[in-house]
């Protein structure tokens, strides 16, 4: 008889095995929930980072183009297509230089509307607006390097 109780005490009972499985499955379930939340957070961070990159690219594009000379156009990169349309807000006005008088350039303030299309997905294009200054040469320059020379006021 003593052998039987000693052998039984050395092993696990069915109840102990069930309790261990419940504890392990509870830990596994919480691990899956944690992994899902981490994946959602990483996905949201990637979307925010991509949006910030698009905003930065649009700002750089508007800074690089001259809406006075190129009021509309398109630029395609590996992942996106940027199409812009500029409309004058103020001007164009003659640029005045003291003491030389009127410059050969006109300057103006433009609202630049940039439509960003993602080439990888079929999502709706995003429209971003910026305000930028632009210039255009409307009169011939007389002589000298840019910014230096004698200009005559138009009649």
Select from 116, 130, 133 the least CA-distant residue to 59.
130
Asked if residue 117 lies in contact with residue 128, where contact means CB atoms within 8 angstroms, the answer is: no
Per the listing, tokens 């632009």 go with 134
Task: Summarize the confidence of residues 90-100 as an average pLDDT.
Answer: 77
Question: 132 in the Ramachandran plot: left (φ > 0), alpha (ψ -120 to 50) or beta?
Answer: beta
Beta strands in the chain (DSSP E): 72-76, 80-97, 101-118, 126-137
**N-to-C CA span, the chain:** 126
Q: What's the Rg (C-alpha) of the chain?
A: 34
Averaged pLDDT, 88-117: 83
Is the torsion defined by CA of 32, 34, 37, 42 positive or negative? negative
Nearest-angstrom CA–CA distance, 49 and 42: 10
Residues 129 and 112 sit within 8 Å (Cβ to Cβ): yes
pLDDT exceeds 80 at position 145? no
- Give the pLDDT score at 9: 60
What does the domain layout of the chain look like in residue ranges? Answer: 2-137
Say whether pLDDT at 30 is over 60.
Answer: yes
Residue percentage of the chain with pLDDT more than 90: 8
């Amino acid at each position: 008889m003593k052998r039987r109780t000693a052998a039984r005490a050395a092993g696990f009972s069915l109840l102990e095995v069930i309790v261990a499985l419940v504890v392990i499955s509870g830990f596994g379930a919480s691990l899956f929930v944690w992994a899902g939340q981490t994946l959602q957070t990483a996905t949201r961070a990637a979307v925010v980072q991509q949006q910030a990159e698009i905003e930065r690219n649009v700002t750089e594009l508007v800074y690089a183009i001259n809406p006075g000379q190129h009021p509309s156009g398109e630029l395609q990169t590996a992942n996106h297509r940027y199409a812009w349309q500029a409309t004058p807000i103020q001007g164009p006005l003659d640029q005045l230089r003291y003491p030389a008088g009127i410059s050969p350039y006109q300057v103006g303030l433009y609202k630049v509307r940039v439509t960003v299309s993602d080439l990888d997905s079929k999502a709706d294009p995003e429209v971003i607006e910026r305000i930028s200054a632009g210039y255009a040469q409307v009169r011939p320059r007389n002589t000298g390097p840019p910014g230096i020379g004698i200009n005559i006021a138009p009649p």
